[in-house]
Chain A
């Protein structure tokens, strides 16, 4: 039987100033009608280039050789006209990052109808009607109004649905989905995957699902290919790959996936309180139109917690939950005058609100931060050794140059960076290595507390696991306290003694790790946990999900806070209170879960 798509001995090369670079080497694969092939690999594995190359979408300096047959017809090297007839019609694509993947100056409606009109003979009115239907199908509310909006006016999840609508409207035989849910919140990811699953089941559309995420692949794929550095490491039916992996690399990938059901080995905490945050509020003014009163956005709304010495508190929330703002507020890093702050932050008995600039500067040696994007948060024109040394030079200026250099080298060694790289620049290092630089910079002053703001989110899973392990080790050695901020509940599980769940700037649940993961009490926490994917195909297929419908409401909407407490909607200004439902387990008021 002839397959839908057959790729044989495909090579993809790029002509670069450093010579020819192979992105894909000698790859063969096949996708049958209605089948889902999962292609999994870390960054640089060539998994995206594979399909771009197969359908003639490489950058100008790339070239592909080998054979690509679609329904038996050789299409590699086919004319632009022939390729255009297939692309967007019988074979469509969904890309990562729908904000940049949609044309910013065209309405959503036009971008959807364009796909239809290019491939099918339909009139304008019919195209619009079909596109509106399609938006409905991908569950975008108020489809008719959305048609006239621009991509930037939609949320990330909605943009990705628009991408799916574009890819589905022509009724394709094969959809290539390249990291379709990366960078989306877990609850939104669950919704998007649900739509793809429906497509596959209802319309018998074959799916090539490219992802770095073993969890995404587990629930969707029939066949799996594991890729590494342009080559296929292992391929086979999904259950074999996940339950009886043969290649070491596959086993390593699976082991590195953080899991909800596995807590890490945590160091004991002391009873001494390091940090106390009381009723912290951060507001940002939102400029209105002419003659309109500026409104207030409450990014953080009455958050209280304390942090013990040696303890790790996980702060979990989706985008817009205020977790990064909270971190910056605690460290007094918010731009003065831009944000309104209320509440008290007490650091080892000292109210930081009363501390002057000079005192605060000295105190900074005790609390440091590691940022999300390691490359963007390092000065590109500064050697990494210099970046690591800077806090030391700023806060311990009496140190001699030799001593600073020795401390930097020792620190680099500690975070497993070769001290010989002291004069390298960030762009010469990989993402994981740059994050080690970020950690070294934060740790060089031997602080008592480090805030990790999505510190591992941008990294590949194998690197992520290494960095998480490193942070854990550093904590054990130094008795450090950590505020570990992440959108990823599974990563938090490994490291944190207690976990705080934020929703639109408010705490909805705060409890010890065991208690929260085993018995979540708030409906939002439950939805979050249920949306987390595990690399376990059978469990994923069997699972029924508690899906939140729709997007996270706007934080400007006064009713948004009452999403889980609809019985109190009569009074819009009401705020759910935290109730201690079990010892140490605080839950925001909510309606009974049906």
Chain B
């Protein structure tokens, strides 16, 4: 297992290298450059700017420079947000996105697997049908619809519980204060809860039909212990495969939620940097994303081996 982990990490290096290379050249193939959108500069000024950012050198030389700097951990300056380096910008945004994404994913896995298991245990009864209908609806409603609705209910009108008026902040990070997190996390997790519930129900139904669950029943083991001890672990395997890449996506791809709730995460950089041809910023974000995907997939594979003793990692 240790040898396997070691080899996987070694294998990540060429993967990252290929991603960096492909991104670098593909981006340069796209027409336009970082300074095109602004007012047209006098040619000599433009030449100066290009020289300042080394954009006048041949592409291969620029690529070489980038690799050398990258190897030293330097992601370079941002072309658009002048006075900031890419590392600074990501360093400021990443904790926000990570908090948001991890909280949403944890919530989704907890609530989703509970709902899914419950539906599986009440298979083809009204409980099952209602959970699955709600989940189906949940999958179809995009976050730019849920977010304003939640904002209206909890932010604008407020709700009354035990005679006390509750309102939740609908915008801003507030240094990561819990009330500020509630609405964006719920918005982000609703879709995931729906997906996780459907996945869990499906695999749980299958496991509950398996021969070994029948054996456990024949042993006289009570139903709740059958679910916890014999079924849950096997039923969670498809979830592990799903949760790895999904977490990577939710950590970095929450642009809409970040925009609506005015949160300083890195989701917006993803879109904005590409549109602005902020070359270094795009590279930085891609590297972060690729690393997350690789790490989370690795974690998922390790979890798989821990959950299922038949899987041997060699």
Residues in A lying within 8 Å of B, measured CB to CB: 52, 55, 57, 59-60, 80-81, 83-89, 92-93, 95, 97, 100-106, 114-115, 118-119, 150, 152, 163, 166, 287, 289-291
Contacts and interface: CB of A to CB of B under 8 A. Distances in A.
A427 to B, nearest CB: 19
B229 A57 contact: no
Contact of A118 (B7, B212, B215, B220): B220
A114 B218 CA distance: 12
A57 B217 contact: yes
Contacts of A150: 309-310
A118 B214 CA distance: 16
**Contact-residue bracket for chain B:** 20 to 34
A100 B310 CA distance: 12
A104 B218 contact: no
B219 A88 contact: yes
Contact of A105 (B3, B124, B307): B307
A115 B219 contact: yes
User: Which one of A102, A163, A287 has the greatest number of beta carbons of chain B within 10 Å?
Assistant: A102
Interface in B209-226: 209-212, 214-223
Contacts of A60: 123-124
Interface string B72-104: 000000000000000000000000000000000
A152 B218 contact: no
Secondary structure type dominating chain B contacts: helix
B83 to A, nearest CB: 48
Contact of A104 (B6, B216, B234): B234
A104 B220 contact: no
Contacts of A287: 314
A95 B214 CA distance: 9
A88 B218 contact: yes
Given A105-B234, A152-B310, A287-B314, A93 B218 contact: yes
B308 A104 contact: yes
A84 B221 contact: yes
Given A88-B221, A118-B220, A166-B219, A100 B211 contact: yes
Nearest to B208: A60
A320 to B, nearest CB: 19
B28 to A, nearest CB: 40
Given A84-B220, A106-B230, 11 more contacts: A60-B124, A83-B220, A87-B219, A89-B220, A92-B219, A95-B211, A95-B215, A104-B234, A104-B310, A115-B219, A115-B220
A47 to B, nearest CB: 16
Nearest to B215: A101
Contact of B308 (A105, A119, A289): A105
B69 interface: no
Interface in B1-51: 3-4, 6-7
B125 to A, nearest CB: 10
Contact of B218 (A57, A85, A103, A291): A57
Nearest to B219: A88
B220 A88 contact: yes
Nearest to A290: B3
A101 B213 CA distance: 8
A150 B311 CA distance: 12
Contacts of B218: 55, 57, 87-88, 92-93, 95
Contacts of B57: none
A81 B224 CA distance: 12
A118 B309 contact: no
A386 to B, nearest CB: 32
Contacts of B211: 95, 97, 100-101
User: Which one of A83, A84, A92, A166 has the greatest number of beta carbons of chain B within 10 Å?
Assistant: A84
Given A86-B220, A289-B3, A101 B314 contact: no
Given A152-B310, A287-B314, A289-B314, A103 B215 contact: yes
A324 to B, nearest CB: 23
A293 to B, nearest CB: 14
A88 B4 CA distance: 41
A302 to B, nearest CB: 30
When A and B form their complex, which 7 residue pairs have the shortest distance between CB atoms, in order from nearest? A290-B3, A88-B220, A88-B219, A100-B211, A87-B220, A93-B218, A84-B220
Nearest to A102: B212
A118 B221 contact: yes
A3 B212 CA distance: 30
Nearest to B123: A60
A4 to B, nearest CB: 17
25 contacts: A57-B218, A59-B209, A80-B223, A81-B222, A85-B220, A88-B221, A93-B215, A93-B218, A95-B218, A97-B211, A103-B212, A103-B229, A104-B234, A104-B310, A105-B309, A114-B216, A114-B219, A118-B219, A118-B222, A119-B220, A152-B309, A289-B314, A290-B3, A290-B7, A290-B314
B308 to A, nearest CB: 6
B212 A100 contact: yes
A84 B222 contact: yes
Contacts of A115: 219-220
Nearest to B233: A105
Contacts of B314: 287, 289-290
Contacts of B6: 290
Contacts of B229: 103, 106, 114
Contact of B230 (A84, A95, A103, A289): A103
Nearest to A287: B314
A152 B309 CA distance: 8
Given A80-B223, A105-B309, A87 B215 contact: no
B40 to A, nearest CB: 60
A60 B308 CA distance: 27
B232 to A, nearest CB: 10
A575 to B, nearest CB: 30
Contacts of B123: 60
A433 to B, nearest CB: 27
Nearest to A83: B220
A114 B221 contact: yes
Interface string B218-251: 1111110000011001100000000000000000
Contacts of A92: 218-219
Contacts of A80: 222-223
Contacts of A100: 210-212
Contacts of B216: 103, 114
Contacts of B210: 100
Contacts of B124: 60
User: Which one of B123, B215, B308 has the greatest number of beta carbons of chain A within 10 Å?
Assistant: B215
A163 B211 CA distance: 12
A101 B6 CA distance: 35
B212 A101 contact: yes
A133 B95 CA distance: 56
B225 to A, nearest CB: 8
Interface string B182-213: 00000000000000000000000000011110
Contacts of A85: 220
A93 B211 CA distance: 12
A88 B310 CA distance: 26
Nearest to A100: B211
A513 to B, nearest CB: 39
Nearest to B207: A103
Nearest to A93: B218
Interface string B292-314: 00000000000000011110001
Nearest to A149: B309
Contacts of B308: 104-105
